[in-house]
Amino acid sequence: MQVYFQTLGCRLNEAELESWARQFRRQGDSVAADIEHADLVIVNTCAVTEEAVRKSRRLIRRAQRSNPQAKLVVSGCYASLNPDESSALPGVDLLVENRDKERLPQLVAEKITVPAMPLIATEPAENPLFRRGRQRAFIKVQDGCRYRCTYCIVTEARGEERSRPITGIIEEINDLHAQGVQEAVITGVHLGGYGRELGVDLSDLIGAILEQTTIPRLRLGSLEPWDIPDGFWKLFDNRRLMPHLHLPLQSGTDSVLRRMARRCKTADFQRLMTDAQRQVPGLNITTDIIVGFPGESDVEWQQTMDFLRRLQFSHMHIFSYSPRPGTKAAGLPSQVDNNTKRQRSKALHQLMSEMKNTSLEAALNQSVEVLVESRVADEDGEWYVGYTPNYLRIRFPVADNKSPMENRIVSVKVTAVNQKNGRLTGVVAANCPKK
């Protein structure tokens, strides 16, 4: 059976997609390169915003139109929050809610008849992920969230917190590394809550991965700022743990954070950043900011801008608030008009651009280890493209065609900054090792 996957939304959705791909491969199926040749299409949906819901519906309809003969399975947050609506969309053969998505390949085998179902399974080591040209794998270690931020519907869609045992995570990473994957990204809905019901925490998990695997690079997904466990910063002494963290702030003023039901005050966040950057040299911190949350006054917005200017992020994910039915914030008074949101968003994007350029300039003349992800060509020639340990995008010229560098870790000296596209340029460092 040829299985084609499509997903919207977060890294966790991507991690689930990759996990399903591995499970289907173990059953003897294969991952289709395009939807037209698939026997089965699986769509993992998102519902974080109303726009995500609309995109999820469009993606399902487009999948059905692209291959009407294929069986169509939908899962994810939109499917879980609106099961009747999702099931009624044309061509949907099976809906798998979030509470059952770990068993999705099994449910497909039980409930859907596809003539191409395999008679025998391949060896577990047959991993489709690397065959799809991926150097980085997303590893889902946790699902669900116990917090109730007033703007967030994901906690309702994902349910209560639950964590995977450390042993299974170690086995998955070792299997992926054996297949050639060079970097694992640890993800979860509430990553900092990992292991609460198991009697361990995120530091225990990361320590075990660093000790019991040899994968060259390990990254963390989004981590709430109030969730940093004991001994966390010491883990970065191991250079295999990449010095980049995404710490969502959401607003730079305490009054808005209270209306959001966030558990971190601005002063706490600033102390956390100062402490982190002091203990982890070169640490790159990125964040999320919501623009135009209900009741956000001009004074509060100016407080947010002033607070952000005192910090240094290399990137901010900027979201204009939109009411999400089913959340407390959707019913709050004093909704901010769209024109005000656009103006504030434009100002924040300008600030973000200045911050990003500062981060890029700080990398000039440094030698960095780059995981090469692709080879591209433009009017200036051919380039290898990848990311530095602290997650800055960089390119360097292809010197010859005899030694492909994709999926290798190469030492590169940073020589220039392209502020227009937010990218570094470099050259391969002399006599550098190539792993």
Query: What is the gyration radius of the CA atoms in the chain, in angstroms?
Result: 22
Are 310 and 270 within 8 A, CB to CB? yes
Which tokens sit at 219? Answer: 């990254």
Q: What is the pLDDT of residue 403?
A: 74
Q: Is 60 exceeded by the pLDDT of residue 108?
A: yes
Distance in angstroms (rounded) separating the CA atoms of residues 348 and 96? 39
**CA atoms within 13 A of residue 402's CA, in its CB half-sphere:** 2
Q: What is the pLDDT of residue 381?
A: 87
Q: What is the pLDDT of residue 118?
A: 37
Q: What is the pLDDT of residue 401?
A: 61
> What is the tens place of the pLDDT at every residue in 71-82?
999 999 999 999
Q: How far is CA 360 from CA 37, 185, 241, 251, 278, in A?
A: 43, 23, 21, 24, 19
Return the closest-CA partner of residue 416 out of 369, 378, 361.
Answer: 361
Q: What is the pLDDT of residue 268?
A: 95
Say whether 115 sits in a helix, a strand or coil.
coil
Chain centre to alpha carbon of residue 108: 26
Say whether 85 sits in a helix, a strand or coil.
helix
> What is the tens place of the pLDDT at every residue in 173-213?
999 999 899 999 999 999 999 999 999 999 999 999 999 99
Q: Architecture of 132-362 per CATH? A: Alpha-Beta Horseshoe (3.80)
Strands 183-188 and 244-246: unpaired
Q: What is the pLDDT of residue 201?
A: 95
More confident residue, 161 or 114: 161
Confidence band (pLDDT; 50, 70, 90) for 220? Answer: very high
Q: Is 70 exceeded by the pLDDT of residue 222?
A: yes
Which tokens sit at 347? Answer: 């100002």
Are 180 and 130 within 8 A, CB to CB? yes
Confidence band (pLDDT; 50, 70, 90) for 430? Answer: low
Q: Classify domain 367-428 by CATH number.
A: 2.40.50.140
Say whether 54 sits in a helix, a strand or coil.
helix
Number of other residues whose CB lies within 10 A of the CB of residue 54: 11
Which tokens sit at 412? Answer: 């590169």
Mean pLDDT, the chain, rounded, equals 89
Confidence band (pLDDT; 50, 70, 90) for 126? Answer: very low
Q: What is the pLDDT of residue 402?
A: 63
Q: What is the pLDDT of residue 124?
A: 35
Average pLDDT, stretch 62-91? 91
Q: What is the pLDDT of residue 121?
A: 35
> What is the tens place of the pLDDT at every residue in 266-292?
999 999 999 999 999 999 999 999 999
Classify domain 2-111 at the CATH superfamily level: Methylthiotransferase, N-terminal domain (3.40.50.12160)
Q: Is 50 exceeded by the pLDDT of residue 431?
A: no
Residues 6+ apart with CB under 8 A from 241: 206, 210, 218, 219, 235
Q: What is the pLDDT of residue 114?
A: 57
Are 226 and 262 within 8 A, CB to CB? no
Q: What is the pLDDT of residue 173?
A: 96
Q: What are phi and psi of 232, to 5 degrees?
A: -65, -50
> What is the tens place of the pLDDT at every residue in 129-146?
333 447 888 999 999 998
Confidence band (pLDDT; 50, 70, 90) for 155? Answer: confident
- Where are the alpha helices (H) located in 159-297, listed in sequence order? 166-178, 202-212, 254-260, 266-279
The domains of the chain are located at 2-111, 132-362, 367-428
